[in-house]
Amino acid sequence: MFKDYSKDQRRVLLGACLYYMGLGGFLFNSQTSVLAAVRSLYQFPMTRISLYTTIGYVATILGATLMGPMIFRLSQKNKKRYFEGMYLCGAAGILILAFFAETPLFYLARFLMSLSVSTISIIISYILNQWIRIRTGTAIGIASAFAGVGGMLSNPLSAFLFGQFSFQKGIIILVLLSACLTIPSFILLFMKPVPEGVPVKPGRTGASETDEGGSSMLVLIILGILISGGRLASLFTSYLSMFSQSIGYSASFGATLASILMFGNISSKFMYGFLSDQVGVWKATMATQLCVIIGVALFIFMPGYPLLLCLGTLGYGMMYGLFTVAINRMCMASFGFSGTKKYQGLLTGLASLAGAAASPLIGIIYDRTGSFTSLFAALLVLMVICFILTGVMSKLRSEH
C-alpha cells in the first residue's frame, strides 16, 4: 500500500499517527475512564458532568473555527510550535482535571482538552495534504484511526492505573505515556520543512485550482448538512449501552457493543480514506452513509437478535468516518485547497454547534417516550436525507 510513498512521506505519516494517538487517544479519548473515576471519587451529580460536556462543545466550536485554520498562515518555524502548543493545551487540561476537579477549574479542564483536540483533523490533514499527493485519503484515514487505537488502549489502562495508584498519580502516568508518543511525533513531522504549494483535488492526477474550486452557497449549505449529519449521528454513542440494557440485555453485552463501536471507529476512518482514493469522495461517502443507515435500521427493526444488533452497531460505527476524514476530503473535492482553508474549520464548528443544540433534546425525548425508537427513527431519516444530498453533490462537484 505504501510502496509509492517516499521515506519522508512514510516518516510524516508515522508522525501523524503518533500525534493522533498521543493527543486524541491517550489524553482525550481516555476521558471515559477518567470521568468515571472523577464522579466516583467526588460524587458529582450528572448535571455537573453535563455542563462539563457542553463546555467541551463550546471549545470545539472555537477551536475549529478560530484555532485550526491558523496552521495555514503560520511560518515553518511556528508550525512546530503550534503543534507543541496544542498538545500542551490538552495535557494542561487533563492535569487540571486531576488536581482541581472540585473547583470551578473543572470546567476549564474540558475547555482546554476540547480546544486542543478540535484542531487535530484540520492541522494533520493539512500536513498530510502537503506531503502526500497520492492516496492522501488513505493516509488521513490511517492517521485519524490512531485516535481510536489510543482510546482502546488508554481506557483500560486508565482504569488499571486508578486502581493501583491515587487518581492524581494515575493521571500523571497517563500524561507521561502520552508524551512518549507525542514528542517523537514532533520530530517526525518537522524533520524537514512542510512542502509549500497547492495539493491536487481528490480524484485528480495533477491540476491546479480551477473555478470548480470556487465557493458556491448551495454547495456550502449541502456540505454543512452532510458534515452535521455525521456529527449528529455520533451523539447516540453515549447511549448505546443504555439502549441495550433498556431492551433487556445485560451490562456485559452493552460493553461488547461498546467494543464493537470502537472497532467501527477505527475501521471506518481507514475504510473511508481508502475508498475516497479508490472510487472517489462522493461514492465513499454514500457507501459509508449506507452502512450507517443499515445499522440504525437494525436497531429499530431487529433489536431482539443479538447478532444483528452487533452488526447494526458495526454499521452505525461507520459514522465516525463521516465527521473526521470526510470533512477534509469533501472540502477538497468541493472547493479545492483554497476553499478548504476557508471552510474546513467553519464547517467543523457548525457541525459541533448542531451537536451542542441537539444533545439536550436526546434526553428530553427519551424521558418523555421511555424509548430510543423515535430517536433512531429521526437519525434514520437524517441519514437518508444525507445520502440523497451526497448524490446531488456528486453532480454539482463531479470528480475527474
Residue 159 placed within a domain: yes
166 in the same domain as 243: no
The pLDDT of residue 287: 94
217 in the same domain as 139: no
The pLDDT of residue 184: 95
The pLDDT of residue 46: 66
Q: What is the 3-state secondary structure (H, E, C) of the chain?
A: CCCCCCHHHHHHHHHHHHHHHHHHHHHHCCHHHHHHHHHHHHCCCHHHHHHHHHHHHHHHHHHHHHHHHHHHCCCHHHHHHHHHHHHHHHHHHHHHHHHCCCCCHHHHHHHHHHHHHCCHHHHHHHHHHHHCCCCHHHHHHHHHHHHHHHHHHHHHHHHHHHHHCCHHHHHHHHHHHHHHHHHHHHHHHCCCCCCCCCCCCCCCCCCCCCHHHCCCHHHHHHHHHHHHHHHHHHHHHHHHHHHHHHCCCCHHHHHHHHHHHHHHHHHHHHHHHHHHHHCCHHHHHHHHHHHHHHHHHHHHHCCCCHHHHHHHHHHHHHHHHHCCHHHHHHHHHHHHHHHHHHHHHHHHHHHHHHHHHHHHHHHHHHHHHCCCHHHHHHHHHHHHHHHHHHHHHHHHCCCC
232 in the same domain as 156: no
The pLDDT of residue 96: 93
Residue 158 placed within a domain: yes
Residue 175 domain boundaries: 7-189
Number of domains comprising the chain: 2
164 in the same domain as 134: yes
Residue 201 placed within a domain: no
253 in the same domain as 365: yes
The pLDDT of residue 341: 81
Residue 196 placed within a domain: no
Kindly report the CATH number assigned to the domain that includes residue 152. 1.20.1250.20
Residue 168 placed within a domain: yes
169 in the same domain as 46: yes
Residue 194 placed within a domain: no
273 in the same domain as 241: yes
184 in the same domain as 215: no
Output the pTM of the full model. 0.81
Residue 234 placed within a domain: yes
151 in the same domain as 284: no
Residue 195 placed within a domain: no
pLDDT in tens, 82-141: 999 999 999 999 999 889 988 999 999 999 999 998 888 888 988 998 898 888 888 999
Please give the chain's pLDDT, 400 residues, in tens: 567 788 999 999 999 999 999 998 888 888 777 877 887 788 877 677 778 878 888 888 888 888 888 888 888 889 889 999 999 999 999 999 889 988 999 999 999 999 998 888 888 988 998 898 888 888 999 999 998 888 888 878 887 888 888 889 999 999 999 999 999 999 999 999 888 766 655 654 433 444 444 458 888 889 889 988 888 888 887 777 778 877 888 877 877 887 888 888 889 998 998 998 888 999 999 999 999 999 999 999 988 888 999 999 999 999 988 888 888 888 888 888 888 888 888 888 888 888 878 877 777 777 777 778 888 898 999 999 999 999 988 888 765 4
